Amino acid sequence: MHSPKPNSKPNPDIDWPSELYRILKAADVKQMSYVPDAGHSQLIRLFSADADVNTNVLTTEEEGIAIAAGAWLGGQRSVLLMQSSGVGNCINMLSLSAIGRFPLLMLVTMRGEWAEFNPWQVPMSRATQPSLEAIGLKVMRAETADDLVETVESAAALAYESDQQIAVLIGQRLIGMKKW
């Protein structure tokens, strides 16, 4: 995550889902896998409307790790979208990307942090970054739209050009308070 410039203010006018879509398309992402998530809904809609991208609705997040491996072996780049609560479902399967050393880019919307109403989200929120790092992923985090756009651009280059496994954590404050 980059540090904001002195005296700079976050830009609330950035349409970060559209910017992430633009970045990932420029990185030649051809497959996107996801478990439905309100925090990723606009990005999911953008990819789903793109005839050049295969979108995969998952029944559980670890399926996305296998799809990412298959995409890479088939000569394509992929991105996996999930919520922090789904990270716990992936820990064992992440050994596939760590041992196989294939590129993996995960965008993870955080829950259980800022203005969370659901106490069941809090424990996994605390465990998300340490769990990902323990299995060998590089974790990058963004709290503002400006940071997120720059962080995903950097993460995509690192994942796809250097065969790294990267998780970008998208702060809950950026997603906004969930209301029921």
CA dihedral sign, ordered 31, 35, 43, 163: negative
Task: Answer for the pair 129, 141: CB distance below 8 angstroms, yes or no.
Answer: yes
Burial (CB < 10 A; 0-12, 13-18, 19+), residue 49, is exposed
Enter the pTM of the model: 0.90
| pLDDT, tens only, 67-103 | 999 999 999 999 999 999 999 999 999 999 989 999 9
- Here the tokens at position 55 are 């979108």
**For residue 135, is pLDDT > 80?**
yes
Q: How high is the pLDDT of residue 11?
A: 56
Residue 29 lies in a domain: yes
Residue 1 lies in a domain: no
Residue 180 lies in a domain: no
The count of residues in the chain is: 180
Q: Supply the CATH number for residue 149's domain.
A: 3.40.50.970
**For residue 3, is pLDDT > 90?**
no
Provide φ and ψ at 108, rounded to 5°.
-120, 115
Those residues whose C-beta lies under 8 Å from the C-beta of residue 161, and which sit 6 or more positions away, are none
| pLDDT, tens only, 139-172 | 999 999 999 999 999 999 999 999 999 999 999 8
Q: How high is the pLDDT of residue 2?
A: 45
Residue 11 lies in a domain: no
Residue 2 lies in a domain: no
Q: How high is the pLDDT of residue 7?
A: 44
Which structural domain, as residue segments, surrounds residue 141?
Answer: 16-175
Residue 151 lies in a domain: yes
Rounded mean pLDDT, 110-129: 82
Q: How high is the pLDDT of residue 62?
A: 95
Counting the structural domains of the chain, the total is 1
Going by C-alpha positions, the residue among 105, 113, 50, 104 that lies closest to residue 84 is 113
| % of the chain surpassing 90 pLDDT | 75
Going by C-alpha positions, the residue among 38, 82, 75, 74 that lies closest to residue 56 is 82
